[in-house]
């Protein structure tokens, strides 16, 4: 009788493990579907798939992360922030989640909050050049120009050929009234990446540079 009971218990445990494994596999399947939809621009389908993955496995950190990224891509920044905050509660050491949270907060002009998020990203990886550059641009929005220059210089120390950071340095210098220096850094950025000229942020910079040359 004892052997029979033990066998039943083992059988039930195996069923439980099998059900859990199947559940996690289902979550991964939904997550992979979401990645495909995100890649081809079917954002509604991506949102639906990532949410299903989370419903099946509430601790699926990558599904949370990409759900937040998808909301960011469609301009739903409040939802992106909400989802990504939940993600960092699950995994506090994920650089990408903190970085994407910061980007979403910048879009909502929550610059102080964005500083915290970008700061966390650079704490996780001190050589994360994009994080230092984003810190610089956020500090620039808060008129903290010297700190902004320090951060963008850190980004350029990590990656001396980081054209976007060169553009950021030009933007910050222009805000400080150092137009000649700004022009030189802008020219350097264009040498490395001519497509920079098409960015929206460049219009204000070029206007400042042109006004100075008149």
CATH number for the domain including 23? 1.25.40.10
| pLDDT for the residue 207 | 87
* Domain limit, last residue, from 122, 139, 170: 122
| pLDDT for the residue 133 | 98
Same domain, yes or no, for 117 and 66? yes
Report the percent of the chain where pLDDT is more than 70.
87
Range 63-68 average pLDDT? 95
Report the percent of the chain where pLDDT is more than 90.
78
Split into its structural domains, the chain has a count of 2
**Which of 8-17, 153-162, 183-192 shows the lowest mean pLDDT across its residues?**
8-17
Same domain, yes or no, for 96 and 199? no
pTM here is 0.85
Q: What is the pLDDT of residues 84-141, one digit of tens each?
A: 999 999 999 999 999 999 999 999 999 999 999 999 999 999 999 999 999 999 999 9
Same domain, yes or no, for 114 and 135? no
Same domain, yes or no, for 95 and 9? yes
| pLDDT for the residue 1 | 52
Q: What are phi and psi of 124, to 5 degrees?
A: -70, -40
Range 202-212 average pLDDT? 85
Does residue 21 surpass a pLDDT of 80?
Answer: no
**Which of 12-21, 77-86, 150-159, 197-206 shows the lowest mean pLDDT across its residues?**
12-21
Nearest to 145 by CA among 122, 174, 107: 174
* Domain limit, last residue, from 66, 90, 122: 122
Same domain, yes or no, for 160 and 186? yes
Same domain, yes or no, for 176 and 111? no
Same domain, yes or no, for 75 and 138? no
Same domain, yes or no, for 82 and 7? yes
Same domain, yes or no, for 113 and 132? no
Which range of residues forms the domain containing residue 16? 1-122
């Amino acid at each position: 009788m004892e052997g029979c009971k033990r066998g039943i218990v083992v059988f039930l445990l195996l069923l439980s493990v099998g059900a859990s494994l199947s559940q996690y596999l289902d979550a991964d399947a939904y997550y992979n579907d979401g990645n495909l939809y995100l890649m081809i621009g079917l954002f509604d389908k991506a949102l639906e798939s990532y949410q299903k993955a989370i419903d099946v496995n509430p601790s699926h950190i990558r599904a949370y992360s990409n759900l937040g990224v998808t909301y960011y891509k469609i301009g739903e920044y409040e939802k992106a922030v909400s989802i990504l905050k939940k993600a960092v509660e699950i995994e506090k050491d994920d650089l990408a989640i903190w970085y994407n949270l910061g980007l979403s907060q910048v879009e909502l002009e929550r610059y102080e909050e964005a500083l915290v998020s970008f700061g966390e990203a650079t704490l996780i990886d001190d050589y994360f050049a994009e994080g230092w550059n984003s810190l610089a641009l956020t500090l620039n929005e808060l008129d903290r120009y010297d700190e902004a220059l320090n951060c963008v210089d850190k980004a350029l120390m990590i990656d001396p050929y980081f054209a976007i950071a060169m553009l950021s340095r030009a933007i910050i210098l222009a805000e400080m009234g150092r137009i000649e220096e700004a022009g030189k850094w802008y020219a350097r950025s264009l040498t490395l990446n001519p497509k920079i000229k098409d960015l929206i942020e460049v219009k204000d910079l070029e206007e400042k540079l042109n006004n100075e040359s008149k």
